[in-house]
Each structure stands twice: as structure tokens, then as C-alpha cells.
Structure 1
Amino acid sequence: MLDAIDQALISALMQDSRRSLKALAQISGLSAPSVAERLKKLEERGVITAYTLEIDPKSLGYQLQAIVRIRPLPGRLQEVERQILAIAEFTECDKVTGDDCFIARLQVRSMEQLDRLLDRLNHDAETNTAIIKKSPIKRRLPPMN
């Protein structure tokens, strides 16, 4: 379980993972060495698994995002998973229960590129695609308490 100080540190890092130990010490009321020790313990426990960088895909020319539900044809599950892994424009993918085996997020520069990428899966899977208009909730943590 996380105490209030751990929660404050994690929240601060979620807002800006580049915060210095000094800044985190001010936020938490601890010394910088104490903050470093807390972070080390959170990493060792697997609570903190990475410090990340967030980039706006539009700044790289990716104008469209899509959620793709993917249902492999019988006997093609592993091949479809291999294909998804090989297509770099798939930026997230979950293997799920239900009718579809995968739900993935795809970043593309155009509708034509979307069609070309999905065509690569057509021999091995059925797809259902929804274009993302807006993301009112960006990736966030569930409640920590």
C-alpha cells in the first residue's frame, strides 16, 4: 500500500517525470536523499516501472488515431499478433476476452495509410475501426487510495 508521501511523489512525477529530487523534496516535505530512497523502494517494489516522455503524434505528422478491434481468423491468432507487433504505427495493443482478441491504438498520417495498414491484416483477421475524434481523458492513474 502507498502512504500519503508515496502518493504525493507519484502524482508529482505523473505531472512531470523530469522533476528534480529537490523539487520532489519540497513537494513531499522530505530531504532529497529521503526522496531518492523512497523512489528506489517504489521502483524495487514494481510500483514505478518507468519514467517516460510524452510526444504529441500530430507534431510528427500523425493526423489520425484509430481504435482497431481485431478478430483473427481461426488458427491465425499467433500470426496476427506477430503482424501487429511488426507494424510500428500500432502504438498500443491489448489482448482481450470476448469476440475480438485484440484492441489496438493506431497512429496514421492519412486515411490511405490506415487502409494500407489494415489491408496487411485482412488475410488473417477481421477488423473493426473507429477514428478517435477527441480524447477527453488522457492516460491517468486509477485512484491510489
Structure 2
Amino acid sequence: MNKLDAMDCRILAELQADGRMSNQELSERVGLSPSPCLRRLRQLEERGVISRYVALVDPDAVGLAVTAFVRVRLGSQDDKHLAIFEQAVAGFPEVMECYLMTGDADYHLRVVVGSLGDFEDFLRHKLTRIKGVSQVTTSFGLRPIVYRTELPARAS
């Protein structure tokens, strides 16, 4: 686990709110001069605390209005079948998140598509064709209530 101090947390909070700001602006917002701020930023990157920088795209604006939450059970949970499933779903651009789970499902996926027809195609031609998939249960999101990308970083 990476130890974070209060300044690291301030830097992370600012960057999670606006990852495109300049080092000058970041340093002003967190109360450091530019050189120490850049040094801390590079350390956070090198330690893997900051893994990458991305743009957040509105799904509706690009025609991806349907969000499905899919629970998947495999017929066998041995390493071979887990690896086959995980490798397959990692290659599906519709899968935004995939978690290995405890409980009544082996995996929980968040899938984003343009329409119910697109979801049916994904289900029939991709997901259920993965060797070992025995059961799929889907719920559709009606609208997001809370959607965050900022992690609540705390000093440790």
C-alpha cells in the first residue's frame, strides 16, 4: 500500500477534478511552488498511485444510452475457466468493468451499448459464447444516481 500524506491527497483531489490543469495551476491550488509540486506528481506516477490520465466521455453524447449490469456464473470455477472468461471479456469494448465476485455470481459486469438490440447481439454473439458460461442474469440501469470517478484519497 502506498502511504499518502495530506499534500499527496490534495494533489490527487485536484487532478481527479481536472486532470488537464498545468503544473503551475496545480501548484497554486495545493499551495506548493511548481518544482516541489512537479516532483511530488512524478513520485505519485512512479509509485503507481496515478496510473494514467483519461478524458471522461458522456455515454449519451456518443450514442451509448443503455447500461446493463450482468451477473455471470460459470459451470466450473477452476483457474482454467476463470482465465478463459477473464481474457475474453477483457477484449470486449462494451464491458466497462468486470469484477470477480463472492456470492451467487462469479462475475459482475457493467456493459454499455447503444440499444437493447446491441445488448442482445453482445449477449448472444459474445458473452454466452465464452466457454464455461452457464448462467447470465441482467438488470438494466434506468438512470445514474451517483457516478463518481474521484477516489476519496486519505492520508495514511
Q: Output the TM-score relative to the length of structure 2.
A: 0.83
- Structure 2 residue 140 is the aligned partner of structure 1 residue 131: yes
Q: Which amino acid in 1 is paired with 2:119?
A: L
- Structure 2 residue 154 is the aligned partner of structure 1 residue 144: yes
Q: Which amino acid in 1 is paired with 2:128?
A: N
CA RMSD of aligned residues (A): 1.8
Pairwise CA distance, 1:80: 3.0
Q: Which amino acid in 1 is paired with 2:29?
A: I
Pairwise CA distance, 1:143: 4.6
Unaligned runs of 5+ in 1: none
Residue 86 of structure 2, aligned match among 75, 81, 84: 81
- 1:13 and 1:143 map into 2 onto residues whose CA distance is 12
Q: Which amino acid in 1 is paired with 2:38?
A: A
Q: Is the 8 A contact 2:11 2:30 kept in 1?
A: yes
- Structure 2 residue 112 is the aligned partner of structure 1 residue 107: yes
- 1:122 and 1:49 map into 2 onto residues whose CA distance is 32
- Structure 2 residue 134 is the aligned partner of structure 1 residue 122: no
- Structure 2 residue 26 is the aligned partner of structure 1 residue 21: no
- 2:19 and 2:154 map into 1 onto residues whose CA distance is 18
Q: Which amino acid in 1 is paired with 2:97?
A: E
Task: Say which SS state the counterpart of residue 122 (structure 1) adopts.
Answer: helix
- 2:11 and 2:82 map into 1 onto residues whose CA distance is 41
Distance 1:36 1:28, change over 3 A: same
Structure with the larger RCO, 1 or 2 (CA within 8 Å, 6+ apart):
2
Corresponding pairs, count: 145
Q: Output the TM-score relative to the length of structure 1.
A: 0.88
Q: Residue by residue, what CA displacement relative to the aligned partner does 1:49-69 show, whole Å, maximum 9, x if unpaired?
A: 111211112111111111111
Distance 1:78 1:2, change over 3 A: closer
- 2:5 and 2:76 map into 1 onto residues whose CA distance is 48
Pairwise CA distance, 1:137: 2.2
- 1:22 and 1:82 map into 2 onto residues whose CA distance is 41
Aligned partner of 1:96 in structure 2 is: 101
